[in-house]
Structure 1
Amino acid sequence: MKNRTEIELLAPARNLELGKAAINYGADAVYIGASRFGARAAASNSLADIESLVQFAHKYKAKVYVTLNTILYNNELEEAEKLIHQIYNAGADALIIQDMGILKMNIPPIPLHASTQTNNFSTERICFFDQLGFDRIVLARELSLAELQKIRAATKIDLEYFVHGALCVSLSGQCYFSEVTTGRSANRGMCTQACRHSYNLVDGNGKRIILNSHLLSLKDLNLSSNLSELIHAGITSLKIEGRLKDINYIKNVVSYYRKKLNDIFKSEPQYVRSSSGNTEINFEPDPERSFNRQSTNYFLFGRSKNLINTYSPKSIGKKIGTVDTVGSGYITLNANDKVNNGDGMCFILNNELIGFRIEKVVDNKVFIADTSNFSSGTVLYRNYDHDFIKLLESDKSIRKVTASIRVSEKDNNLHFELTDEDKLTSSYIVEQLPETAKDPELAERNLISQLSKSGSSMFNVTEVINKCKTSYFFRISELNEIRRILFEKHMAARTAAFARKDTDRQPKMIDFPKKEVDFSENISNKKAGQFYQEHGVEKQEKAVEVSSAKENQLLMTSRYCLKYELGFCERFQGARNTPSEPLYLEDKNRKYLLQFDCKNCFMTIRLENKS
């Protein structure tokens, strides 16, 4: 079929091991941090490891994108430019960036992706980056399906969108909470996750109307049921969040989305995956059995309630059932799944998540250390699935590229040709014909049997075709050696055949959508300032990180609205007798002012100066 659209499943990689695991379990591409300047400071990697990951990925036609998506300071520009050249020389397929100063550097022709940290929310802004020459835009998580369709219609650029994982409550790149309150900037990869803390909600009269509640802690994104709609809307890269997650999370979640996408491709052949190979796993993937805070589709179909978990930012896991009876040192369950010794369980009591461990299970009795907080009907969740984790840890599945081997006789030589699913062929020639086999049937069986064995290689030989008119005798060891050499040559051929696509980006002098920009453009160095000046910006402020916090400093801008979440929205919910405003969040240190732009449906949080 002509004009098939390639769809990419993009997975996170904390390090080389997890990057290989992500590719092995079905990712078409991975994104990974370099040694510095990544938005996850705790997930940095050496150039040697990036190069190793690139070599592994390219054998499957998979890609590696490197994150350099923090803002930069003047004294870091030279180092960052040098690092970009090193990343390019390591073979990386693209660079994910936030700082526009990079566009004023002398950098190699590596494709550039505009990170979600560049605040890719408005169509006008996205069109600017498209026309500027970026190769891809990582879209804001807050965008709805209708807005995605509008963006697709207005642009030609490759579009990437998050489909799974943790959500930032602030518009990406627009959160200054951590920087202003602790000096650790989210735009520098050091977010302290203030949105996951607990707060009191205080009304305009100083009354605390909600106490000690995680009012900004969003549930996790899960759009696994909406992949087809996203693809039809023009999204070509579907991104999983989680560069700080462990290998079991990667195995489980990547496998789950791989399976979902493969099912779509079977029914909609106009779409095809962007890399090669397939992995036969020995477990049934289920994202609820890995780290999750319960799920939401966020704004995909418009504004909705129940976006937060007020009781905890921790993983709640999968609902198992309810308590049936409470005995002496044990409980019995009405459960929809079997529980096991060592399982970690939890339940919600008085808006608090309480965890416990199963000591042992005997018949229908679940023995635990403390039964005092349980009653019949208590809802239970499992956030540590002991047997499932053991299954993930023991799974050593290998991604395989389908291939066939053809044996033929030419000019008194034997030719062994391996052709894979991408129509790439490698050959090995036995220059001296072996002896004629005394038992042709046995020789044929041995030939097919030994050449079909793939073991721990990356190939799955599904067919051996023997075109020789004469049956030749081979020792088993000789056939094994032929297969080994053929596999080795073909792996090298696949690596050599992968053609990285350099960009032909040319500087374009188009005007930025605004003539004046404030600190929210995150201009933290002279090259970034030069970029905005050259693109028509007449007045610019410095980033918060290189200036002083202002009075009532803006801490974050969010499409999530606490008033709507709590049922206080006058515009859409017709709420009456709502708490007096202004509303504040309060922690142990200070109060934070909440402001509501009801016309445009945004909530902002500002620093309430101590008086």
Structure 2
Amino acid sequence: MIKRKPELLAPAGDPQALKAAVENGADAVYLGGEMFGARAYAGNFDRSALKSALEYAHARNVRIYITVNTLVDNGELGELTDYLFFLYQEGADALIIQDLGAAGLIKGLFPDFPLHASTQMTVHNAAGVKFLEDMGFQRVILAREVGLADLMEIRKESLMELEVFVHGALCFCYSGQCLFSSMIGGRSGNRGCCAQPCRLPYHLVDEKGRELSGIPGEHPLSPKDLMLLRELPDLFIAGISSLKIEGRMKRPEYVAAVVRIYREALDRAWDDPQNYAVSSQEIHDLALVFNRGFTTGYFHGNPGRQLIGYTKPNNRGLYLGRVLRFEKGKIAFKTRLPLEAGDEIEFWTGDGSRGLTVEKMNFAGRKAEQVSPGSQVEISVSFHVQKGDRIFKTHDRRLAEQAHETITGISRRRVPLYVRVVAHLGEPLLLEGRDEDGFSAAVRGEFIGEKAIKHELTRETVRVQVDRLGNTPFDLMDLECDIEPGVMFPVSEINAVRRQLIIALENARLRRFQRSLPADLRDREKAYWFRLKERADICKKKPGTVFWISR
């Protein structure tokens, strides 16, 4: 088997997170629409936003996988089918599926629509992988409980694409098998509505109701976060096709930072796996954007009690120091990390945790905007703390700004573009463009080239205007000019023709992803909706009727 560099697959809960993922180096992004996704409480994408997301990503050679990974109710099959037609025609690269009935429906309608088996299917052995391969699935997203030894065995038995989670939240239960949220709150994780009861505090008692001792904290069901940054070379050896980051409920800045770190590490590990090492700064940055404590999960075997973060079910940040003194609303402490105005810190007190944003600091008797590790600083606190309370840094302003810049700034994910300009007297301006993937377009303007009275057209003038590519997916690599001496074209004309050329090139790039429905499928679609309406009318007359319509 020829080993290929694994793709880096990132989450997107909203359009900003999508841009964060793409701009920081994701090869592919998974996201959900307004229905049928396992993260119903993420921002998600309506149909207009889905269409825009597909266009934005595809123009930059990034794949989009759509989550259709809830269990589908019989009464939802009509809506599901309509949604599938939309996704197929708009060019979604693959669907992530949990429901085997939905998978059968999709294969019957669209045999060429790639399917990825969701981790909610709990596929954890070679037999499960082979079963889905026979069903026509292209890829399996393995259960998070599958360790390295089992990954190696599965790879020996199948050439199917394998995807594994490498970073983010873990479930207490086996992947896809948890009924906890549904049982105690009526919100089913398999329907996209998990309330995360595993993150709540619990007290363990015996059969007589007496509280058990020896439990390290109030959160005995709350797992730490997965981090396999150090294990990337092992994943290469196991032949993993896709490395997945969890986090469709996370902020765009989180997505930006985590994707950036894994992108840089993945490239480094692939180029030189023998000398690959993870820096302390990378671990530091991952911990600061969000962590519940890190674990390698089941990758090296059953971690036992080390899987659980007993004391805190949400972001714990990094340890900063302890309160040395608290007097008149001011505290003193020695910081173990760099600290500056705008950072956020949290105090772990006897009454729980309280946080604040650092606004002013005093260091060595003077006001300071930032201090180095080892500095003893003084800040104001509006709530009660006491000597010895622990302090954690939970937000780094500089790291957040760096991430935010990739979301709001000019696009850095560009496709190299080569342009040829022809500017002759008595002829309209011609721009020809070709990108590195072989897509090309040519556009002629309307203005006819005139004899210059004052300023003739120069190569530099053309380059400045053609290079104004802003947030387009293109980066001008080379400009070839055929400019007749003495010719004049207004700058506005060059800009207008450039804009038309970019639109034509983008459309050329996007057409390869769009699909057309075969004539027989269009006829079957009309017949399907006719039969569905008939059955719906029957159900109105006979409430409670359950029906299935075969295609």
Q: Please give the TM-score of this superposition, normalised by the length of structure 2.
A: 0.78
Matched residue, 2:543 = none
The alignment status of 1:237 with 2:250, answered yes or no, reads no
SS of the aligned residue for 2:109 comes to coil
Contact (CA 8 Å) 2:456, 2:487: kept in 1 or not? no
SS in 1 for 2:479: strand
Q: Within 5 A, what are the aligned runs for 1:458-473?
A: 458-466=473-481, 472-473=487-488
Of 209, 212, 217 in structure 2, the residue corresponding to residue 208 of structure 1 is 212
- Structure 1 pair 186–483 and aligned structure 2 pair: CA distance change class (3 A): same
Distance 1:209 1:293 in 2: 23
| Change in CA separation of 1:161 and 1:351 when aligned onto 2, cut-off 3 Å | farther
Alignment of 1:410-421 (within 5 A): 415-421=430-436
Letter in 2 for 1:259: E
> Counterpart in 2 of 1:278?
none
| 1:136 and 2:149 correspond | no
- The residue identity in structure 1 corresponding to 2:28 is A
Per the TM alignment, residue 350 of structure 1 is displaced from its structure 2 partner at its CA by: 5.9
Partner of residue 120, structure 1: 123
- Specify the SS of the correspondent of 2:6: strand
Match of 1:224 in 2: 229
- 1:141-160 equivalences under 5 Å are 141-160=144-163
Deviation of residue 117 (structure 1)?
A: 0.5
Corresponding residue of 2:61:
61
- Secondary structure at the counterpart of residue 288 of structure 1: helix
User: 1:415, CA displacement in angstroms?
Assistant: 4.8
**C-alpha distance in 2, partners of 1:463/1:333?**
56
Contact 1:357 1:368 in 2 (8 A): no
The aligned residue for residue 491 of structure 2 is 476
Q: Where do 5+ consecutive residues of structure 2 fail to align? A: 274-281, 364-376, 518-545
User: Counterpart of 1:451?
Assistant: 466
**Residue 419 (structure 2) aligns with:** 405
Q: Closer, same or farther in 2 for the Cα pair 1:457/1:285, shift >3 Å?
A: farther
Q: Which has the higher helix share?
A: 2
Q: Who is 1:5 aligned against?
A: 4
- 1:353-377 Cα offsets, whole Å, 9 max, x none, are 45344353233322222453232xx
Distance 1:445 1:342, change over 3 A: closer
For 1:167-566, list aligned pairs within 5 A. Answer: 167-202=170-205, 208-210=212-214, 213-264=218-269, 267=272, 286-304=285-303, 306-323=306-323, 326-349=326-349, 353-363=353-363, 364-370=377-383, 372-375=385-388, 379-386=390-397, 388-390=399-401, 392-393=403-404, 395-398=408-411, 399-407=413-421, 415-429=430-444, 434=449, 443-466=458-481, 472-498=487-513
Q: Secondary structure at the match of 1:306?
A: helix
**Aligned counterparts of 1:192 and 1:184: Cα–Cα separation in 2:** 6
Q: For 1:395-429, what per-residue CA distance to the aligned partner results, in whole angstroms no more than 9, with x for missing partners? A: 42413222232335899886533222323222234
Distance 1:373 1:73 in 2: 54
Return the offset for 1:150.
1.7
**Distance in 2 between the 1:432 and 1:191 partners?**
61
Instruction: Give the letter for the 1:30 counterpart.
Output: V
- Distance in 1 (CA, whole Å) between partners of 2:418 and 2:3 is 25
Maintained 8 Å contact 1:93/1:501: no
Determine which of 161, 164, 167 is the counterpart of 1:164.
Answer: 167
SS at 1:5's partner residue? Answer: coil
Within 2, Cα distance between the matches of 1:339 and 1:208? Answer: 40
Q: Matched residues in 1 for 2:25 and 2:486: separation?
A: 40
Counterpart residue identity of residue 27, structure 1: A
1:34 matched to which residue of 2?
Answer: 33
What is the DSSP-based 3-state SS (H/G/I as helix, E as strand, rest coil) of the residue aligned with 2:124?
A: coil
Which residue of 81, 103, 107 maps to 2:109? 107
What TM-score, normalized by structure 1, do the two folds share?
Answer: 0.71
* Cα pair 2:331 2:378 within 8 Å, conserved: yes
SS at match of 1:153: helix
Tell me, what secondary structure is at the counterpart of 2:307? coil
Please list the CA deviations of residues 259-298 of structure 1 after superposition, one character each: whole Å capped at 9, or x if unmatched.
Answer: 3334445558xxxxxxxxxxxxxx9993323232122221
Residue of structure 2 equivalent to 1:87? 87
- Render the CA deviation track for 1:517-550: whole Å, top value 9, x for unaligned: xxxxxxxx998xx9xxxxxxxxxxxxxxxxxxxx
| Bigger shift: residues 434-443 or 222-231 | 434-443
Q: What is aligned with 2:370?
A: none
The answer (yes or no) to whether the contact 2:164–2:244 under 8 Å persists in 1 is yes
Identity of aligned pairs, percent?
35
Say if 1:153 and 1:501 are closer, same or farther in 2 by CA, change over 3 A: farther
Give the distance between the partners of 1:154 and 1:353, measured in 2 at CA: 50
Structure 1 residues 254-263 or 159-168, which shifts more? 254-263
What letter matches 1:143 in structure 2? V
Deviation at 1:21, TM superposition (A): 3.8
- Cα contact 1:11–1:239 (8 A) shared by 2: yes
Q: Which runs of 5+ in 1 are unaligned?
A: 269-282, 503-524, 531-611
> Retained in 1: the 8 A contact 2:319–2:392?
yes
SS at match of 1:418: strand
Give the letter for the 2:495 counterpart: N
User: Following TM superposition, by how much is the alpha carbon of 1:483 offset from its aligned partner in structure 2, in angstroms?
Assistant: 2.4
Contact (CA 8 Å) 1:51, 1:92: kept in 2 or not?
A: no
